[in-house]
Chains A and B, each alone.
Chain A
């Protein structure tokens, strides 16, 4: 018995020729973007000021370092703190899960700027009490306050990512591992987490990107990160290129990260594609 196997391939329809309306609009919009880009490049060339560079470029580099260390410290601390929160969210004990739910709801439901103010100005206003407890050195520094607020905030988001990823692994996987005689921790490490990481990678990447973008907020509480140095440079020189340069740096950072995450995702899902 022979079955004729002609595979019908859906070819995409040929592109319309000539100048349909969509193409005119599309070319016009791309033209606008090109003009916009050229305008910015032209402005930067026209406003090129070696003095500005000599003065602020080192500060920008230092600010970049501050931004990166703020984000990486907060991400790591947040990841550590997200473990108990995610455990609480998945726990059957209603007190634990209620507490974890309230924590996550509060930190996801209020703006990060408010949380940062609450830590820096709010907690900082209890100076005598903090001095007696011996914690004033911590809440006096804007950078530490930023790290504190950002860690708490990202812990809430990361706990949700972790919970979603672990719950996305079917129950049968736990049961299968249990019937093979693996105990819970082994199951988590050898069976569940490798599958959960694939699900969690993209949200974790997005969270990292969001944190880098959100880190600009600490400039408002007088931390001299990338944005803080841009604010300072603008306040001193009234030169808008202070913000244009910083925008370019942020954009490049975010794009590198985004493509990096996509690359890792392609690498770890090789076994799923054929």
Chain B
């Protein structure tokens, strides 16, 4: 077989690998975007619990962050990917003795990345909570807002603005952590590049492509967050 030129390898279509890698990029983006809202929500509530006056809530939230920030991402992923089917199977078999459970690697990746992202985001939210003076809450109560209304109308808008730069960092590391899910056979960017590398024996080329794609995603997200930040800043001035 004649050696193919790298441009054929990188072309779109049956001879090239661009279409395969592009589908992988799509999976990476979808995975990261699907994780983001879940992680942000959990992270917010964990931070809320961490600054609550009730000690038992603080304890529960601190255990959460200690565990998921202390475990390597890969270990958490493997524990869930291999451990969850066992646990679910055990539970399901109490009702239906011959059921089998398989965990989708996308779902497993999403759960694990949400756990990790939320434990890092909670630290960011926590320091944002601490940056908001107590008078803001008291002002809210003084004009007759309920606890929930104060949180939603007064605290949350300020919180997001303060936490935004920190959350941007969390998002960038989430984007990078999605590459770990390739290890449990999810066909995302790195996995697809790896397949291309193995088939064509051009490992350096295809792993460089993967690296450049992640770099491009990082640059794109910093452009996007720059826009959002300017938008937030304008609202603050008005």
Contacts and interface: CB of A to CB of B under 8 A. Distances in A.
Interface of A: 12-13, 15, 20, 22-23, 25-27, 29-30, 32-33, 105-106, 109-115, 117-118, 121-126, 212-217, 219-220, 227, 230-231, 234, 240, 243-244, 246-247, 250-251, 254-255, 258
A114 B182 CA distance: 11
Nearest to B206: A122
A114 B210 contact: yes
B53 to A, nearest CB: 7
A216 B74 contact: yes
B78 interface: yes
Interface stretch (B11-19, B54-62, B225-233): B54-62
Nearest to B59: A30
> Helix, strand, loop or mixed for chain B's interface?
helix
B39 interface: no
Contacts of B73: 213, 216
A227 B52 CA distance: 37
A247 B79 contact: yes
A216 B79 contact: no
A114 B211 contact: yes
A20 B183 CA distance: 45
Given A227-B72, A227-B74, A247-B79, A114 B207 contact: yes
Given A32-B60, A114-B179, A114-B190, 16 more contacts: A26-B55, A109-B214, A110-B176, A112-B176, A113-B183, A114-B207, A117-B190, A117-B203, A121-B197, A121-B207, A214-B72, A216-B72, A220-B183, A243-B75, A243-B79, A250-B70
A111 B203 contact: no
Interface size class for chain B? 35 or more
A29 B75 contact: no
A118 B208 contact: yes
Given A126-B204, A227-B74, A227-B75, A243 B57 contact: no
Contacts of A109: 172, 214-215, 218-219
Interface in B150-189: 172, 176-177, 179-180, 182-183
Q: Kindly list the 6 A-B residue pairs having the minimum CB-CB distance in the complex, ordered from nearest.
A: A26-B56, A29-B60, A26-B57, A122-B204, A111-B179, A216-B72
Interface string B24-62: 000000000000000000000000010011111111110
B203 A124 contact: yes
Interface in B96-149: none
A105 B215 CA distance: 8
Nearest to A113: B179
Contacts of A26: 49, 52, 54-60
A33 B208 CA distance: 43
A255 B68 CA distance: 12
B194 A243 contact: no
Contacts of A13: 53
Contact of A125 (B63, B204, B211): B204
Contacts of A12: 53
A214 B208 CA distance: 20
A234 B211 contact: no
Contacts of A212: 72
A23 B75 contact: no
Given A115-B211, A251-B67, A30 B56 contact: yes
Contact of A246 (B55, B57, B75, B194): B75
A249 B58 CA distance: 25
Nearest to B84: A240
Nearest to B177: A111
A100 B5 CA distance: 32
A29 B79 contact: no
B169 to A, nearest CB: 10
Nearest to A22: B54
Contacts of B63: 30, 33
Contacts of A234: 78, 82
A12 B72 CA distance: 38
B201 interface: yes
Contacts of A244: 79, 83
B83 A240 contact: yes
B147 to A, nearest CB: 10
B60 A111 contact: no
B71 interface: yes
